[in-house]
Structure 1
Amino acid sequence: LPVLEETLADFDNVKIVPGDIMKIDVAALLRQEFGGLPVAVCANLPYYITSPILMLLLESRLPLTSITVMVQKEAAQRLCAQVGTREAGAITVGVHYYGEARQLFPVSRGSFMPAPNVDSAVIRIDLHENPHPEGLDEGFFFRMVKAGFSQRRKTLANSLASLLGIPKQAVYDALEQAGLAPAARIEQLTMEQLFALARILQSA
């Protein structure tokens, strides 16, 4: 902080707010500093808590238009992966639920001194104005996604039956109704297929 205060002393359009992003009331801070104006986030995230910070920003329904962050290269690939491919995970679905993510450019480890042991990349997430799909129980949707990806080697019927307590036959029926194979795994499903399955299962 003393270094930042010194190096940024000549800029009257910068304000340093020390704190832990996971503990601070971000919504109150944005209201105080920007008075309801739309906000763009730009950050160099601590790599070990990339996913928790991103989900905090996304789930809090803050007045954000975009999030541009530098993350570890492998995390960038996962965050920007196409839902329905092997590279995608639960965090990929979460990001694509709230916005559209894309990689902007790579950042080699040689760009830093001392050089870290990993390469990085800068990504941008442009947020949807209204991310909540019609007729979808958002809480159930994310429970289904987390359950499926926590046992991604199992079929959806097995993982949802064991982790969410949904009768296996009910999952089979929902898969058939959604036009999906009985042995489908969650990593094979697109966002629209995930939405369709969740709409059917949420009332099972």
Structure 2
Amino acid sequence: MTQNRLSISDPIRTNDIMRKYKLRAKKSLGQNFLTSEKVLDDIVDASQLQPDEIAIEIGPGIGALTEKLAQVAEHVYAFEIDENLIPVLHDTLSYYDNIDVINQDILDVDLDKFVKDHDLEGKTIKVVANLPYYITTPIMLNLINSDYPFKALVLMMQKEVAQRITAKPGHREYGSLTIGVQTRMATRIDRIVGKNSFIPRPKVDSAVVVLERLDHENEGITDLKYFNKLIRSAFAQKRKSLMNNLLNWQGRNDDTRAKLKQVFTDCGIEDNARAEQLSIEQFKKMATELQATFKK
């Protein structure tokens, strides 16, 4: 049934759909329609979706990725914020009976309640999406920190953001976002996607990132709120040393400096170290030591 039609991602069909519905990509919503079937197939492959698994998509656009997901997953729930695209999606995806298109901002969705309301508890759920650049980080963090433990997130995003969340200690992109993600998820870049794969063409390249839930997320963090305060403070001014940033946080005086120097020594950290040089494990140990020291 589907073999004799051009895929939605085919540039000819994409342009036909856009002409038929007089569509223009909305810059305000970060809309760029993916027109590379190879990239779409790679995204689905990276998700390792199985026939008994559920896919949640964010920002389906005109349905190019949605179509690919529906051919593999048991069911696809596609959240689209642009109400003008809802009738388009109902048309382009009319051949599939395992897709629900939902006109709602994913940031307004109680994901745990959504899972319960749709009888998805116990199902393996993966989020697969081509995210708008302007709101990538809030959506990603909302998914990671939601009550429902999604098995994996396969997200296409701006290459620069992908490099930040997959960075290693010592890399210039390593920062608070890196740590906020990597304490809960294993991260890797699956592939780089050139700007020519989209209509309209964005100004920068993209990357497909795979994030998989760690078996023991936040392991070694005894007080998550305090740990997050440490991370924010440590990277508050990246050009300053870690010591200077922590003095700004704890109080710039001789007593505080002496206590910090002792914590640095206990954690095996040089006095002139910068935050981007520390591993996540070192930050975990430092958080425990700092909290004990400054409660005395």
* 1:31 CA drift (Å): 2.1
Deviation (angstroms), 1:164: 4.5
- Which of 98, 109, 112 does residue 13 from structure 1 map onto? 98
**Kindly, what percent of the aligned residue pairs are identical?**
35
| Distance in 1 of aligned mates of 2:122 and 2:114 | 11
What TM-score, normalized by structure 2, do the two folds share? 0.65
In the alignment, what sits opposite 1:48? 134
The structural deviation recorded for 1:186 is: 0.7
For 1:53, the aligned partner's letter is I
Match of 2:88 in 1: 3
5 Å-filtered alignment, 1:122-201, equals 122-134=208-220, 136-165=222-251, 167-201=256-290
Mapped to 2, the partners of 1:130 and 1:160 lie a distance apart of 28
Q: Within the alignment, does 1:25 sit opposite 2:114 as a pair?
A: no
Deviations 1:37-61 (A, max 9, x none): 2311111111112111111111224
Q: Which ranges of 4 or more aligned residues in structure 1 deviate by more than 6 Å?
A: none
Q: What SS class does the counterpart of residue 88 from structure 2 fall into?
A: helix
1:100 matched to 2:189? The reply is no
Residue of structure 1 equivalent to 2:199: 113
Larger of the two Rg values belongs to structure = 2
Structure 1 pair 17–164 and aligned structure 2 pair: CA distance change class (3 A): farther
3-state SS, counterpart of residue 35 of structure 1 = coil
User: Is residue 221–residue 227 contact of structure 2 (8 Å, CA) maintained in 1?
Assistant: no
* Amino acid paired to 1:3: V
Q: Over residues 147-181 of structure 1, what are the superposed CA-to-partner deviations in whole Å (9 max), with x where a residue is unaligned?
A: 11121211222212213548332222111110111
The unaligned stretches of length 5 or more in structure 2 are 1-85
Is the CA contact (8 Å cut-off) linking 2:111 and 2:147 kept in structure 1? no
**TM-aligned CA deviation for residue 136 of structure 1:** 2.1
What is the TM-score of this pair, normalised by structure 1?
0.93
Q: Is the 8 A contact 1:30 1:36 kept in 2?
A: no
Q: Match for residue 202 of structure 1?
A: 291
- 1:61-97 CA deviation, whole Å, 9 max, x = no partner? 4221111000011111111111343221111111110
Query: Does structure 2 retain, via aligned residues, the 8 Å contact 1:90–1:145?
Result: yes
* Other structure's SS at 1:50 match: helix
What do the CA deviations read for 1:117-167 (whole angstroms, capped 9, x no partner)? 111110101111221223521111111111111212112222122135483
Please give the root-mean-square deviation of Cα atoms over the aligned residues, in Å: 1.6
What SS does the aligned partner of 1:198 have? helix
**Structure 1: stretches of 5+ with no match in the other structure:** none
Contact persistence 2:149–2:213 (CA under 8 A)? no
Secondary structure class of the residue paired with 1:202: helix
CA distance, structure 2, for counterparts of residue 191 and residue 4 of structure 1? 43
Size of the aligned set, in residue pairs, is: 204
19-28 vs 66-75, which moves further:
19-28
In structure 2, do the counterparts of structure 1 residues 164 and 37 end up closer, same or farther at CA, with 3 Å as the change threshold? Answer: farther
Structure 1 residues 164 and 65, CA gap change in structure 2 (3 angstroms): farther
Q: 1:141 to 1:84 in 2, by over 3 A?
A: farther
CA contact (8 A) 1:106 1:120 kept: yes
